[in-house]
Chains A and B, each alone.
Chain A
């Protein structure tokens, strides 16, 4: 029966193509990981992770201050962006058709498309030029500007997935609007919101331009939030474009640390969600 055969082929080919595409996506991640690992693993050591950077020709340089600086600035960015973004998403979810909501949604979409360099310039002009001081605080604010629209949009999507029947049931049982949002809608969407936050954190951790323009860089340990502060992407950028082999080596090592950090964050988020789902 040639007809059946033809049908089988028609079903098999597109499936195979899609499967291949899926494999391709995974293999790209693994290739990048493999390549960075191969080039960068050799320099990783406890000393590399904790020492201050050294100039070309002085052995023993590390990325300690850049690692700490990146962590501090990303954490600061998240601290500013998460409450703000989630609160905005709650507003969008509660008043989906208001004019303010439409404007906010539009602004967020535009903001996600704005090149990170522009965000950096904006914070540079607003804060650095006014105060004459590069700082981790300015870096954190620039990263918060990058993260906020991503969090707002993804959190709104997640809140919208909470079925209306649940909300109606809650209100019908006599719960107030506040109780419905805080005790029902937000917990139900928490896992999805966390994914959006992780995405935003990963995005922020890899930014070079906004951080270079606002926090600059430093060869010293960060002592407070009002000083120029080193970060991993800026260190990788400076080292990678130099012609010196020992800096290039360290750039690979720092890249590996950055990628593993982002990967760990994602894995942590997945685990968190898995655990939460099993309980709930």
Chain B
């Protein structure tokens, strides 16, 4: 009677075990000659191309990719193409190297190199020891293990707001998550290892509940607190610190792959209102001379879940279309008026629907449009120019925006502005309860936003940095953060 507990034959069991074993053995991708690896404070630094040894005998020098060493040491690097000069700056140290030239300068005084900076297989390589030491780090070459070691001297850890251990738990908006992950990762590298910040991508709504409920030390959100949510807290006690901006792209799928579609605000609104229902409508063709538009029904694809992207998109439509403002309005969810519209979950859901459904039109956050290779619409902005969604056009929108600090800078009057752009905010308590936490929160925000340390990563992830005017406001905002009425940032 116990036989019933043996549903799988031994053969199948052993097949599964083999599968499991195979899986664990799979990574045994053998490296023949071991490449040189770089270690920074005991951690291996990933490098797309391994360091190489150039020259022979006493003149032999280890050369490392320029980007890797400068990023590892947290230095700012600039490149002047005309003179072939690389300049690195860090904590008051300035070094400059010329490609193919043995003379270099450190803080203005000339030095001679054994091996010059050079370009190998399309990568710029710089002498490792020279750069490391000039920027205030200790360097070591382990010939037996083929490891290049860099140890940060005190100067290379740029800051440590606190000596003891501290963990911040934060979270919220999904939209800026890839950027925030990069920021907390980089911040962990330059600050004391005892300070740890986690950001969880749980959505704006959960972020707001988190900071109001005390489970998050700060929160990310794409929508400001509603009057209802504000009612529970003292006025101005929760600051909305603008962090970064993003564009919402209007994406479409027209069979015959018409690219470069142009739309005016009123036509866009009428498409989403369900007034214009076919791609060969006279009002669309009038805006697109020379583009062959097929006789194809338009299907609106919109978000089915509550979304900051929907809020920004409907905020724009409400500004440019009176019928939209009165009939639909703006919100994280709205009731969509067009007949036969399709709901999809998340940016990824809308992107998938639009790419598979002929005749579809939808809206997604910019990175989803570009990485999924969707066609995007160039929209006529307030200045009358047709502008497509790009990082530059997004910053241009905020620079010229004429809106309040808690509004998305949609429908900006700037000539180069893309009209559907949104801010994402970090919500933080103005009156901090814990002195140590306050110091870390302020230091992080200051480092990331005010000192513009997010900028090197923003464009690669399709975010637009804040324009200077907004940054000035952010600085003042962060200065109001206090503990027992003492400002934290002094």
A219 contacts the other chain (CB 8 A) = yes
B171 contacts the other chain (CB 8 A) = yes
Q: Which residues of A contact B151 (CB under 8 A)?
A: none
Contact B198 A55 (CB under 8 A): no
Contact A57 B460 (CB under 8 A): yes
Q: Which residues of B contact A241 (CB under 8 A)?
A: 174, 346-348
Contact B371 A263 (CB under 8 A): no
Q: Which residues of B contact A44 (CB under 8 A)?
A: 23, 26-27
Contact A267 B17 (CB under 8 A): yes
Interface size in chain B (residues, C-beta < 8 A): 48
CA distance in complex: A217, B351 (Å): 26
B16 contacts the other chain (CB 8 A) = yes
Of residues 127 to 153 in A, which have CB atoms within 8 Å of B's CB atoms?
A: 128-129, 132-134
- Interface bracket on A: 35 or more
**A132-B214, A134-B215, A227-B167 known; A54 and B198 CB under 8 Å?**
no
| Chain B interface helix/strand/loop/mixed | helix
Q: Which residues of A contact B213 (CB under 8 A)?
A: 129, 132
**A54-B185, A129-B215, A132-B214 known; A228 and B461 CB under 8 Å?**
no
Contact A267 B16 (CB under 8 A): yes
Q: Which residues of A contact B2 (CB under 8 A)?
A: 191, 277, 280
Contact B182 A58 (CB under 8 A): yes
Contact B198 A216 (CB under 8 A): yes
**A134-B169, A228-B200, A260-B23 known; A56 and B346 CB under 8 Å?**
no
A68 contacts the other chain (CB 8 A) = no
B395 contacts the other chain (CB 8 A) = no
Of residues 181 to 228 in B, which have CB atoms within 8 Å of A's CB atoms?
A: 181-182, 184-185, 188, 196, 198, 200-202, 213-215
B231 contacts the other chain (CB 8 A) = no
Contact B215 A271 (CB under 8 A): no
Of residues 174 to 228 in A, which have CB atoms within 8 Å of B's CB atoms?
A: 191-192, 195, 212, 216-220, 227-228
Stretch at the interface among A85-93, A111-119, A242-250: A242-250
CA distance in complex: A280, B174 (Å): 55
- Identity of the chain B residue whose Cβ is nearest the Cβ of A53 in the assembled complex: B181
Q: Which residues of A contact B371 (CB under 8 A)?
A: 243-245
Q: Which residues of B contact A212 (CB under 8 A)?
A: 200, 202
Instruction: Give B454 Cβ to nearest chain A Cβ, in Å.
Output: 12
Contact B171 A216 (CB under 8 A): yes
Mask: chain B, 40-59; 1 = CB below 8 Å from A; 0 = not: 00001010100000000000
CA distance in complex: A271, B347 (Å): 44
CA distance in complex: A241, B345 (Å): 10
Stretch at the interface among B5-13, B232-240, B263-271, B278-286: B5-13
- Identity of the chain A residue whose Cβ is nearest the Cβ of B47 in the assembled complex: A59
Mask: chain B, 341-364; 1 = CB below 8 Å from A; 0 = not: 000001110010000000000000
- Identity of the chain A residue whose Cβ is nearest the Cβ of B372 in the assembled complex: A243
Contact B16 A263 (CB under 8 A): yes
CA distance in complex: A245, B368 (Å): 11
Instruction: Give B201 Cβ to nearest chain A Cβ, in Å.
Output: 5
Mask: chain A, 249-276; 1 = CB below 8 Å from B; 0 = not: 0000000100010011001001101100
**A228-B200, A277-B6 known; A243 and B20 CB under 8 Å?**
no
CA distance in complex: A148, B26 (Å): 36
- Identity of the chain A residue whose Cβ is nearest the Cβ of B6 in the assembled complex: A274
Q: Which residues of B contact A134 (CB under 8 A)?
A: 169, 215
Residue of B6, B26, B202, B457 near A57 (CB, 8 A) is B457
**A227-B167, A243-B371 known; A57 and B182 CB under 8 Å?**
yes
**A55-B178, A273-B5 known; A263 and B196 CB under 8 Å?**
no
A41 contacts the other chain (CB 8 A) = yes
B177 contacts the other chain (CB 8 A) = yes
A27 contacts the other chain (CB 8 A) = no
- Identity of the chain B residue whose Cβ is nearest the Cβ of A163 in the assembled complex: B1
A98 contacts the other chain (CB 8 A) = no
CA distance in complex: A238, B346 (Å): 12
B30 contacts the other chain (CB 8 A) = no
Contact B198 A270 (CB under 8 A): no
Contact A55 B181 (CB under 8 A): yes
- Identity of the chain B residue whose Cβ is nearest the Cβ of A134 in the assembled complex: B169
- Identity of the chain A residue whose Cβ is nearest the Cβ of B371 in the assembled complex: A243
- Which residue among B48, B198, B457, B460 has the maximum number of chain A CB atoms within 10 Å of its CB? B198
Contact A191 B16 (CB under 8 A): no
Mask: chain B, 1-37; 1 = CB below 8 Å from A; 0 = not: 0100111101001001101100100110100000000
Contact B200 A216 (CB under 8 A): yes
Contact B185 A217 (CB under 8 A): no
Instruction: Give B271 Cβ to nearest chain A Cβ, in Å.
Output: 24
B367 contacts the other chain (CB 8 A) = yes
CA distance in complex: A48, B460 (Å): 24
Residue of A45, A242, A267 near B177 (CB, 8 A) is A242
CA distance in complex: A33, B26 (Å): 16
CA distance in complex: A280, B5 (Å): 13
CA distance in complex: A256, B200 (Å): 23
Q: Which residues of A contact B181 (CB under 8 A)?
A: 55-56, 219
Q: Which residues of A contact B196 (CB under 8 A)?
A: 220
Q: Which residues of B contact A60 (CB under 8 A)?
A: 44, 46
Can you name 14 extra interface pairs (CB under 8 A) apart from A129-B213, A228-B169, A241-B348? A33-B19, A44-B27, A46-B27, A129-B215, A132-B215, A217-B198, A219-B185, A219-B198, A220-B198, A263-B16, A267-B13, A274-B10, A274-B13, A277-B2
Measuring CB to CB, which residues of chain A are less than 8 angstroms from any residue of chain B?
33, 41, 44-48, 54-60, 128-129, 132-134, 191-192, 195, 212, 216-220, 227-228, 238, 240-245, 247, 256, 260, 263-264, 267, 270-271, 273-274, 277, 280
Q: Give me 19 A-to-B residue pairs in the complex whose CB atoms sit less than 8 angstroms apart, sorted by A's number.
A: A45-B27, A48-B27, A54-B185, A55-B185, A57-B457, A58-B185, A132-B214, A212-B200, A216-B202, A227-B167, A228-B169, A238-B201, A240-B348, A243-B368, A244-B178, A247-B178, A263-B20, A271-B13, A274-B6
The list of the 6 closest CB pairs from A to B, nearest first, reads A45-B27, A60-B46, A55-B181, A55-B182, A243-B371, A59-B46
